[in-house]
């Protein structure tokens, strides 16, 4: 009996340790990822049933809650702008010169035909505050040594109940993120194909986002340019800036 | 002999006018009723053809498979040259490109903020082009309740109930939120040119009609179309002909591995319509049979009566030395002539009414309030090739039969007896 | 009394032309009864199917639910009130929970409705019994034939559905088609899947909630509390009624023409027989019958065709109608795609009411048509006729 209690106690301690370790890793990841103000130029490559489409956009991002994106090409999408503030998403289209809030069923639509939905775009909560984490073990992916960490939602209103992420042991970049449904079905998989060291930070510059229930190759994200700690005027994150 | 009989017919009102009038009205009724029942029976088919299936329809293989989802990402490409080639290959058919779409209508307030939204579905048809084909097929101009026809690419026609629901009027700007062929969300402004009442209750709740070229731009579908519909020029579905056309077309594009190669389906093979078509023709057949039966009896009856009335005359003719056979023959010939004349003018009149009601229809809108069905409020006649012949069955056969039966009595009776009836 | 007997005798004795007129009349009567019966059958059968499978004795709708407004589905669920849960316990009601989901088939997404129903319910004819869970992690689902056709799913197929529960959490599970039900009712088939209510409440995080509560047939609705509004069958069957009315309206022209035809026959015969029998008429008047009585006699003679017609109609019509009612009208497979719940075989329904009104209508019309030419009798001058000259 004593022996049993001891084992349980050691195991619990070990687990606690693991959790603390995991939390520390996550904090480091977020510190690496987090920047107050970012400016990003990115290309989204969509592998459609018929053709491959490349969509280029520039974004201004402030913290985790505010972002402003303007599409540059192709011509058809040029001038389309999107503003996200917390749980709200507005879209401006130059063709109609109107700002419309994307809500309800529209959120479930695919973003420009990609594997992402507008909803997915909205879902990127701060991991440490929404998830409890535990290290599952070590692994290697794309020749990088990683921790395999399980994330479990702390509250009931987080979109993905469970995530399994692989974190680069040296660079503290998430190299793979599997997002699971409440039932345990794998829904989305984000994998990093390339990392770069920019302005003193390691960041993922080539990402593949895949809706696991859909057929196809998934959608690629390539970061063409990134600047940290840029000055972003506050009007940028107002609805009126969508029409400018 | 015929000249003599004709003279006799023309000079004797009771011998000619009344029988012809009876045959005329009977045949007219038969022709009209047949066309009408045809119209009632084929109404669902016609509406479906006009709005959904065409008499034949070209889509990509992939689109055809998932049609229920309106998959515009699987639309036909290079539509202009495809249209040119089918128009050349099958000139007897109107070919029209269309885009079906669904989405949201967003109505802005003064500041441009969303005031109201409603889900909609619609079709984009060629409204601003040179030819009036679509206007004719869908009879759009006649369905406009207020406002005008769409004349610019971004004019839009909105169904009356939807207009009510959204609180918009003619001239208002509205935004359609939909998905482009590439899957991007699109917002596009349209002007409400007019409100339409298709009288198809299932449609009038949330239906819009847009111009094809405008929708091509809006949905990023330059030189693409969801579907190309083909219509026979008389707007009547011809089962065999359409299968032949589909066969001929599909043999040109038999690349089964390319899911984007075009494929043609006939109305008969789409949406389970085959069984409905078969049932409709069966039903029309039964109705026509009952009616022609009844009509024949009436005309036979009148033939019989006119024969009976003339026993006196036959008596005189027998007394004057005419043979019974000759009298019987002339009686039959007379009824043949009245039958033909009555049938011809009856058919003409019946066709006239039929065509009129095919064009105008009878509005039964009051009966369709609150329904969500795809049934046209206006019931129309449908004149088919059979309408031209069907009246002659009762018109000629029954009339002759009537005379023939009543005439038999000529042989049975003695001359004196028939002569005696002259006094009656 | 002598006049009616006289009239019937005269008509019966008139031979073939009486029979012809009567035959045409009978044809009209039988056709009208048959067609009306067909439409009545269509309505009865359609409503019965809808009541059995979908509507029961009426439905309580949770506040905000509107089946025609796809936006409303999202928020259309609410706690089942005490009154309702008592009814459900007593098996006099069954509740249905409705939510939206995404079905993934061959890599494409389809927006569908997921409906939860108690496998033990006995209110609706949906074969919900097969929705009982088997504990193999796969949720048994029921779909209709149309859904099967549109989605390409077959019995035994496993497919994935993704949804967000009431808290906004993503979830996805595999469902297995445990049965494809053949139903004529589109509202329980189109674009939807059925699963067990318990499972649905659990996976959607909507414990003891529902969207619709359907009550048993012939049960009086009670006040179910706030947020729940009762919709009676008149309201729920509106569309079906309209469809049948539309069909009946289209056919009514046929009745009018058929009757018109029969009336022409009667009118013709009447005119002719008055013309032919003016000597007889004159004799009757000369013998002391008033003109009105003679008019009555001829009118009744015309109406006697009705009696003959009813006899003829009974001879061939009754067996024919019974035959059609028993055997039914076989409907083709896709008939309901555009219309309503009709079933494979459409059985006409002939009510006594229907027969009575049809006959009465024909009788009255014949009376009028027989009377109009008979009025000429009033102008007859018997002395002249009997002397030998005409009208």
DSSP string, C12-60: HHTTHHHHHHHHHHHHHHHHHHHHHHHHHHHHHHHHHHHIIIIITT-EE
Nearest to B375 among C246, C272, C332 (CB): C246
What are the chain C neighbours of B25 within 8 Å (beta carbons)?
Answer: 264
Q: Which of B313-322, C294-303, C366-375 has the lowest mean pLDDT?
A: B313-322
- With respect to residue A175, please indicate whether it lies within any of the assigned structural domains: yes
State chain C's mean pLDDT as an integer: 82
Across C240-316, the runs of DSSP E, i.e. the strands, are none
- Which pLDDT tens digit goes with each residue over A26-83? 998 888 877 778 899 999 999 988 889 999 999 999 887 889 999 998 998 999 999 9
High-pLDDT (> 70) share of chain C, %: 90
- Inter-chain contacts counted by CB atoms under 8 A, chains B and C: 134
High-pLDDT (> 70) share of chain A, %: 91
Q: Determine whether the interchain pair A76/B187 forms a contact, defined as Cβ–Cβ distance below 8 Å.
A: no
> Exposure string (b/e) for C181-203, b if CB count within 10 Å is 16 or more?
bebbbbbbbebbbbbbbbbbbeb
Local confidence band at B371 (pLDDT 50, 70, 90 cut-offs): very low
pLDDT at C335 over 50: no
Asked if B115 reaches chain A (Cβ–Cβ under 8 Å), the answer is: no
Nearest residue to C171 via CA among C100, C230, C74 = C100
CB C131 within 8 A of CB C196: yes
Task: Write phi, then psi, for A186 (nearest 5 degrees).
Answer: -75, 120
Q: Determine whether the interchain pair A105/C165 forms a contact, defined as Cβ–Cβ distance below 8 Å.
A: no
A75 and A131 together in one domain: no
- With respect to residue A140, please indicate whether it lies within any of the assigned structural domains: yes
> How many residues are recorded in chain C?
391
High-pLDDT (> 70) share of chain B, %: 82
pLDDT at B220: 93
A197 and A147 together in one domain: yes
Q: Any idea where the domains of chain B sit in the sequence?
A: 2-46+276-423, 62-84+94-230
For tokens 């989901």, the residue is C101
Q: Determine whether the interchain pair C268/B373 forms a contact, defined as Cβ–Cβ distance below 8 Å.
A: no
High-pLDDT (> 90) share of chain A, %: 43
Q: Which of A18-22, A224-228, C361-365 has the lowest mean pLDDT?
A: A18-22
Task: Write phi, then psi, for C76 (nearest 5 degrees).
Answer: -90, 75
Which candidate in B185, B219, B261 is best for mutational testing of the A interface (most A CBs within 10 A)?
Answer: B185
What are the chain A neighbours of C111 within 8 Å (beta carbons)?
Answer: 105, 108
Compute the average pLDDT of residues B26-54. Answer: 79
State chain A's mean pLDDT as an integer: 87
Asked if C71 reaches chain A (Cβ–Cβ under 8 Å), the answer is: yes
Q: Determine whether the interchain pair C107/A215 forms a contact, defined as Cβ–Cβ distance below 8 Å.
A: yes
Compute the average pLDDT of residues C2-20. Answer: 72
Q: Determine whether the interchain pair A96/B188 forms a contact, defined as Cβ–Cβ distance below 8 Å.
A: yes
Question: Per residue, what are the HEC states of chain A?
Answer: CHHHHHHHHHHHHHHHHHHHHHHHHHHHHHHHHCCCEEEEEEEEEEECCCCEEEEEEEEEEECCCEEEEEEEECHHHCCCEEEEECCEEEEEECCCCEEEECCHHHHHCECCCCCCEHHHHHCCCCHHHHEEEEEEEEEEECCEEEEEEEEEECCCCCCCCEEEEEEECCCCCEEEEEEECCCCCEEEEEEEEEEEEECCEEEEEEEEEEECCCCCCCEEEEEEEEEECCCCCHHHHCHHHHHC
CB C225 within 8 A of CB C83: yes
Provide the residue range defining the domain that includes A62.
57-115+232-243
State chain B's mean pLDDT as an integer: 81
Pull the structure tokens for residue C212: 């619709």
- Which pLDDT tens digit goes with each residue over B155-199? 999 998 889 888 999 999 999 999 999 888 899 999 999 998 876
pLDDT at C250 over 80: no
CB B47 within 8 A of CB B375: yes
What are the chain C neighbours of A161 within 8 Å (beta carbons)?
Answer: 169-171
Query: Which helix (H) or strand (E) covers residue B179, if one does?
Result: strand B173-179
pLDDT at B370: 38
* Alpha-carbon span B229 to B225, nearest angstrom: 10
**Shortest alpha-carbon distance between residue B166 and chain C (Å):** 13
* Alpha-carbon span A8 to B11, nearest angstrom: 124
A37-47 and A219-228: which strand pairing? antiparallel
Pull the structure tokens for residue C86: 């008592």
Q: Determine whether the interchain pair C169/A108 forms a contact, defined as Cβ–Cβ distance below 8 Å.
A: no
Q: Which of B174-178, B315-319, C205-209 has the lowest mean pLDDT?
A: B315-319
C139-144 and C170-181: which strand pairing? parallel
Compute the average pLDDT of residues B12-35. Answer: 78
pLDDT at C302 over 70: yes
Higher local confidence (pLDDT), C215 or C32: C215
Nearest to A185 among C102, C160, C167 (CB): C160
Nearest residue to A59 via CA among A37, A76, A74 = A37
Pull the structure tokens for residue C74: 């999202």
* Alpha-carbon span C366 to C265, nearest angstrom: 10
Compute the average pLDDT of residues C26-43. Answer: 82
pLDDT at B271: 60
Compute the average pLDDT of residues C75-103. Answer: 90
ipTM of the complex: 0.84
pLDDT at A148 over 70: yes
Higher local confidence (pLDDT), C266 or A226: A226
pLDDT at B111 over 70: yes
User: Where does residue A86 rank: exposed (0-12), middle (13-18), buried (19+ CB within 10 A)?
Assistant: exposed
Q: Any idea where the domains of chain C sit in the sequence?
A: 2-51+239-387, 58-231
Distances (CA, A) of A3 to A8, A10, A14: 9, 11, 16
Compute the average pLDDT of residues C182-194. Answer: 85
* Alpha-carbon span C340 to C320, nearest angstrom: 27
A21 and A129 together in one domain: yes
Q: Determine whether the interchain pair B305/C269 forms a contact, defined as Cβ–Cβ distance below 8 Å.
A: yes
Distances (CA, A) of C305 to A89, C6, C28, C179, C309: 79, 14, 13, 58, 6
CB B216 within 8 A of CB B99: yes
What CATH code is carried by the domain that includes residue A157? 2.50.20.10
CB B219 within 8 A of CB B201: no
Q: Which residues pair with C345 in a beta bridge?
A: C330
**Shortest alpha-carbon distance between residue C132 and chain B (Å):** 30
Handedness of CA C195, C71, C58, C336 (dihedral sign): negative
- Which pLDDT tens digit goes with each residue over A68-107? 999 998 998 999 999 998 888 999 999 888 998 888 777 8
Which candidate in A103, A158, A183 is best for mutational testing of the C interface (most C CBs within 10 A)?
Answer: A183
- Whole-model pTM: value is 0.75
Interface of C with B in 27-66 (CB under 8 A): 27-28, 31
pLDDT at B343 over 60: yes
pLDDT at C254 over 80: no
Asked if C251 reaches chain B (Cβ–Cβ under 8 Å), the answer is: yes
Higher local confidence (pLDDT), C372 or B313: C372
pLDDT at A88: 87
Distances (CA, A) of A102 to A87, B331, C59, C100, C292: 10, 84, 33, 18, 84
- With respect to residue A225, please indicate whether it lies within any of the assigned structural domains: no
Q: Which of A82-91, B8-17, C204-213 has the lowest mean pLDDT?
A: B8-17
Give chain A's contact residues with C (Cβ, < 8 Å): 104-105, 108, 153, 156-161, 179, 181-183, 185, 187, 213-216
**Shortest alpha-carbon distance between residue B184 and chain A (Å):** 4
Q: Which residues pair with C225 in a beta bridge?
A: none
| Report for B94-108, C35-49, C263-277: range of highest mean pLDDT | B94-108
A26 and A71 together in one domain: no
Q: Which of B410-419, C47-56, C284-293 has the lowest mean pLDDT?
A: B410-419
Task: Write phi, then psi, for B9 (nearest 5 degrees).
Answer: -65, -45
- Which pLDDT tens digit goes with each residue over C156-168? 898 889 898 888 8
Local confidence band at C304 (pLDDT 50, 70, 90 cut-offs): confident
Region of B103 (left: φ > 0; alpha: ψ -120 to 50; beta: rest) is: left
Distances (CA, A) of B161 to B54, B102, B140, B141: 26, 17, 16, 18
Q: Which of A169-183, A186-200, C44-58 has the lowest mean pLDDT?
A: C44-58
* Alpha-carbon span C236 to C215, nearest angstrom: 13
**Shortest alpha-carbon distance between residue B275 and chain C (Å):** 5
* Alpha-carbon span A50 to A69, nearest angstrom: 26
pLDDT at A189 over 90: yes
Pull the structure tokens for residue B190: 């349209």
Q: Determine whether the interchain pair B182/A113 forms a contact, defined as Cβ–Cβ distance below 8 Å.
A: yes
Pull the structure tokens for residue B112: 């441009």
Other CB atoms within a 10 A radius of the CB of residue A154 amount to: 11
pLDDT at A111 over 90: no
pLDDT at B251 over 80: yes
Compute the average pLDDT of residues A206-214. Answer: 91
């Amino acid at each position: 009996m004593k022996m049993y209690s001891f084992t349980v106690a050691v195991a619990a301690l070990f687990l606690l340790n693991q959790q603390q370790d995991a939390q520390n890793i996550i904090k480091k990841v977020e510190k690496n990822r987090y920047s107050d103000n970012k400016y990003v130029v990115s290309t989204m490559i969509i592998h459609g049933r018929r053709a491959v489409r490349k969509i280029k956009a520039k974004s201004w991002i402030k913290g985790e809650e505010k972002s402003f994106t303007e599409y540059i090409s192709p011509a058809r999408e040029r001038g389309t702008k999107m503003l996200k503030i917390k749980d709200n998403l507005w879209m401006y289209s130059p063709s109609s010169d109107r700002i419309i809030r994307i809500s309800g069923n529209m959120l479930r639509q695919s973003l420009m035909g990609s594997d992402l939905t507008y909803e997915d775009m909205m879902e990127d909560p701060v991991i440490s505050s929404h998830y409890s984490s535990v290290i599952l073990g070590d692994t290697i992916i794309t020749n990088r040594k990683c921790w395999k960490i399980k994330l479990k939602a702390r509250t009931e209103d987080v979109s993905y109940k469970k995530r399994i992420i692989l974190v680069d042991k040296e660079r503290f970049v998430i190299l793979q993120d599997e997002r699971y449904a409440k039932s345990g079905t794998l829904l989305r998989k984000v994998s990093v194909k390339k990392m770069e060291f920019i302005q003193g930070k390691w960041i993922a510059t080539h990402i593949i986002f895949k809706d696991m229930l859909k057929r196809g190759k998934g959608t690629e994200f390539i970061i063409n340019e990134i600047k940290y700690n840029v000055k972003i005027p506050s009007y940028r994150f107002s609805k009126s800036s969508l029409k400018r | 002999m015929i000249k003599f009989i004709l003279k006799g017919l023309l000079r004797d009102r009771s011998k000619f006018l009344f029988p012809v009038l009876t045959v005329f009205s009977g045949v007219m009724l038969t022709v009209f009723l047949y066309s009408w029942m045809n119209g009632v029976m084929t109404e669902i088919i016609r509406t479906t053809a006009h709005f959904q299936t065409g008499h034949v329809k070209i889509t990509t293989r992939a689109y055809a498979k998932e049609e229920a989802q309106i998959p515009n990402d699987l639309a036909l490409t290079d539509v202009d040259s495809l249209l040119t080639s089918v128009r050349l290959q099958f000139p007897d058919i109107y070919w029209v490109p269309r885009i079906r779409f669904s989405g949201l209508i967003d109505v802005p307030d003064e500041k441009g903020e969303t005031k109201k939204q409603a889900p909609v579905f619609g079709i984009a048809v060629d409204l601003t082009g040179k030819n009036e084909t679509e206007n004719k097929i869908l009879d759009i101009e006649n369905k406009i309740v207020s406002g005008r026809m769409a004349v610019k690419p971004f004019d839009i026609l909105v169904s009356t109930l939807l207009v009510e629901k959204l609180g918009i009027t003619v001239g208002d700007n509205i935004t359609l939120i939909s998905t482009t062929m590439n899957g991007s969300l699109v917002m596009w402004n349209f002007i409400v040119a007019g409100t339409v009442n298709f009288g198809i209750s299932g449609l009038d709740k949330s239906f819009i009609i847009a111009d094809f070229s405008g929708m091509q731009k809006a949905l990023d579908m330059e030189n693409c179309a969801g579907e190309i519909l083909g219509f026979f020029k008389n707007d009547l579905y011809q089962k065999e002909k359409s299968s032949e056309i589909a066969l001929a077309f599909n043999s040109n594009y038999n690349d089964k591995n390319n899911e984007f190669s075009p494929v043609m389906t006939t109305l008969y093979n789409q949406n389970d319509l085959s069984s409905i078509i078969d049932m409709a023709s069966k039903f029309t057949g039964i109705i026509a049979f009952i009616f022609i039966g009844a009509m024949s009896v009436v005309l036979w009856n009148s033939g019989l009566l006119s024969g009976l009335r003339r026993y006196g005359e036959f008596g005189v003719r027998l007394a004057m030395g005419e043979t019974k056979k000759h009298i019987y023959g002339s009686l039959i010939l007379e009824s043949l002539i009245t039958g033909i004349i009555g049938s011809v003018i009856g058919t003409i009149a019946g066709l006239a009414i039929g065509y009129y009601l095919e064009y105008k229809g009878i509005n039964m809108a009051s009966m369709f309030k609150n329904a969500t069905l795809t049934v046209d409020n206006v019931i129309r006649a449908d004149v088919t090739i059979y309408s031209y012949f069907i009246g002659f069955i009762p018109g000629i056969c029954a009339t002759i039969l009537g005379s023939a039966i009543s005439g038999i009595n000529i042989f049975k009776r003695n001359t004196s007896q028939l002569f005696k009836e002259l006094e009656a | 009394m002598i006049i009616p007997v006289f009239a019937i005798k005269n008509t019966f004795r008139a031979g073939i032309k009486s029979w012809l007129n009567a035959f045409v009349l009978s044809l009209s009567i039988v056709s009208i009864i048959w067609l009306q019966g067909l439409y009545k059958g269509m309505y009865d059968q359609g409503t019965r199917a809808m009541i059995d499978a979908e509507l029961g004795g009426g439905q309580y709708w949770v506040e905000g639910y509107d089946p025609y407004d796809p936006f409303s589905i999202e928020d259309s669920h609410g706690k089942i009130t005490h009154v309702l849960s008592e009814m459900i316990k007593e098996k006099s009601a069954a509740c249905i929970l409705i939510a939206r989901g995404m079905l993934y088939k061959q890599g494409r997404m389809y927006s569908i409705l997921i409906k939860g129903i108690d496998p033990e319910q006995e209110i609706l004819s949906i074969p919900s019994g097969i929705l009982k869970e088997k504990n193999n992690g796969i949720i048994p689902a029921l779909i209709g034939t149309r859904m099967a056709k549109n989605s390409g799913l077959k019995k035994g197929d496993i497919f994935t559905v993704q949804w967000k529960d009431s808290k906004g959490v993503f979830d996805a599970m595999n469902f297995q088609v445990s049965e494809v039900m053949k139903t004529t009712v589109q509202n329980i088939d189109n674009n939807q899947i059925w699963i067990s209510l318990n499972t649905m409440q659990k996976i959607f995080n909507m414990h003891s909630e529902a969207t619709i509560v359907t009550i048993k047939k012939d049960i009086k609705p009670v006040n179910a509390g706030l947020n729940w509004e009762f919709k009676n069958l008149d309201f729920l069957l509106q569309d079906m009624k309209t469809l049948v009315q539309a069909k009946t309206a289209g056919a009514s022209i046929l009745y009018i023409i058929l009757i018109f035809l029969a009336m022409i026959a009667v009118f013709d015969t009447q005119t002719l027989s008055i013309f032919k029998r003016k000597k007889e008429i004159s004799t009757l008047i000369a013998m002391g019958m008033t003109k009105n009585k003679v008019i009555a006699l001829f009118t009744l003679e015309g109406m006697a065709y009705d009696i003959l017609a009813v006899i003829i109609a009974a001879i061939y019509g009754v067996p024919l109608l019974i035959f059609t009612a028993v055997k039914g009208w076989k409907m083709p497979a896709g008939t309901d795609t555009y219309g309503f719940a009709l079933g494979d075989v459409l059985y006409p329904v002939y009510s006594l009411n229907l027969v009575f009104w049809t006959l009465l209508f024909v009788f009255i019309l014949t009376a009028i048509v027989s009377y109009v030419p008979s009025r000429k009798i009033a102008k007859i001058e018997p002395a002249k006729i009997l002397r030998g000259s005409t009208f």
